[in-house]
Amino acid sequence: MPNRQSIIPTLSNKDILRFWTKVDRSDPKKCWVWKDWKWKNRKGEETYGGFWLRGKDWPAHRIAYFLATGFNSDSLFICHRCDNPPCVNPNHLFPDTPKGNMEDMIRKGRAIIPVIPIEKRQRGEANNKAKLTAPQVMELLQDRDNGMSSVEASRKYGLCPSGIRYIYRGKNWKHLFYPKPS
């Protein structure tokens, strides 16, 4: 998986044409599944599509959303309404803003709001963007070790799967795993 969000570089017309040759767009309402290389999760299941551009792989759904809307942000996740990671149908994608997520939460009957790590100097609960408490994070990681997928975890904890995976990578919660001796 890409280990951080980055601004997507400018795509040439050739890049854009190459991008859409890798997508099945036969039905505008259904999921547009990425036909090329995909990242795999811990269980070996295929997740996000990867699009090779300027020397690295980019999450295909972010590119699709960018091409459809011009939205390009390094601080927000692009989430799937359809919970189908290889899908790149822009109509199934939304940026994970607190407002957007609130609507999504109400629609799906979820409970909490996402972790959007923005202020790097603050950690964990001290960061006012964090919506999981330290014990919840520990529980989440326990669930993962018991084989719960990030999509299942996203339903249980009310975060989008990208937010769950961000926690898995331990970026905001490093102090839980590597406590400094006091």
The answer to whether the CB of 154 falls within 8 A of the CB of 160 is yes
DSSP β-ladder status, 38-40 and 46-53: antiparallel
Among 38, 62, 92, 110, binds Zn ion (CB under 5 A): 92
Among 1, 53, 67, 82, binds Zn ion (CB under 5 A): 82
151 binds Zn ion (CB under 5 A): no
Site track for Zn ion across 24-43, x = CB under 5 A: -------x------------
AA letter at 116 = I
Q: Which is nearer to Zn ion, 85 or 117 (CB)?
A: 85
Stretch of 86-94, 95-103, 144-152, 171-179 contacting Zn ion, by CB under 5 A: 86-94
Which residues, 111 to 140, sit near Zn ion by CB under 5 A? none
87-129-159 Cα angle (round to 5): 35
- Please provide the size of the chain in residues: 182
The answer to whether the CB of 153 falls within 8 A of the CB of 144 is yes
Q: Which is nearer to Zn ion, 34 or 157 (CB)?
A: 34
Q: How far apart are CA 179 and CA 182, in angstroms?
A: 9
Among 84, 122, 136, 149, binds Zn ion (CB under 5 A): 84
Stretch of 2-10, 80-88, 130-138, 172-180 contacting Zn ion, by CB under 5 A: 80-88
Is 73 exposed, middle or buried, given 0-12, 13-18 or 19+ CB atoms closer than 10 A?
Answer: middle
Stretch of 39-47, 77-85, 134-142, 146-154 contacting Zn ion, by CB under 5 A: 77-85
Task: Name the nearest CA neighbour of 1 among 37, 55, 53, 54.
Answer: 37
Which residues contribute to the site for Zn ion (CB under 5 A)?
31, 82, 84, 87, 89, 92
